[in-house]
Amino acid sequence: MTTSLVRPIDPRALKELRSADDAGRRMVPLTDEEGGQPLRCCLRHSVPGERIALVSYAPLLRWAAESGADPGPYDEQGPVFIHAEECAGPGGDALPFGTSQRTVRRYSAEGRILGGRLVPEGGDLEAAFREAFDDPAVAFVHVRAVEYGCFLYEVRRR
């Protein structure tokens, strides 16, 4: 069980993304024939036959709107998979998407990058979270896939 708070994309943001994504594009649903896509709405992999969509998401922009911060040039957007329709959200306390190689990127309360850590395949993500939050300047972290650099989920202090 994680000692940090793992957060999927907020349900309000998901509702907006299903209408128009953070790049202003309309969502284009598709049927996932093969499965295995990392769904950021429920923090699990898709299964064959599910209706999903690939949308552009700006996690820092969304966080800044909530917190009142200005991430400045650190604001970015990238592709994420979500269910095309509302889903039940995450279930369970396990860390999502297995133990593939990940990057844990640290951010300040102002939305500035404070560094990061590469966690090798099978590595201890919990230790990376503890290490990040040992620094009082770290407000939250983003976990990203190394292969594509995609945002997977946000982690905050409990």
Distance separating alpha carbons of residues 18 and 12, to the nearest angstrom = 10
C-beta of residue 36 within 8 angstroms of C-beta of residue 46: yes
DSSP conformation letters of 77-115: -EEEEEESS------SSSPTTTT--EEEEEE-TTS-EEE
What confidence tens digit (pLDDT) does each residue in 62-93 have?
Answer: 888 888 998 888 889 999 999 999 999 998 77
Residues 84-134 have pLDDT tens digits of 999 999 987 788 988 789 999 999 999 999 999 999 999 999 999 999 999
Percent of the chain clearing pLDDT 90 (strictly above) = 77
pTM for the full predicted model:
0.91
Cα separation, 32 vs 81, whole angstroms: 11
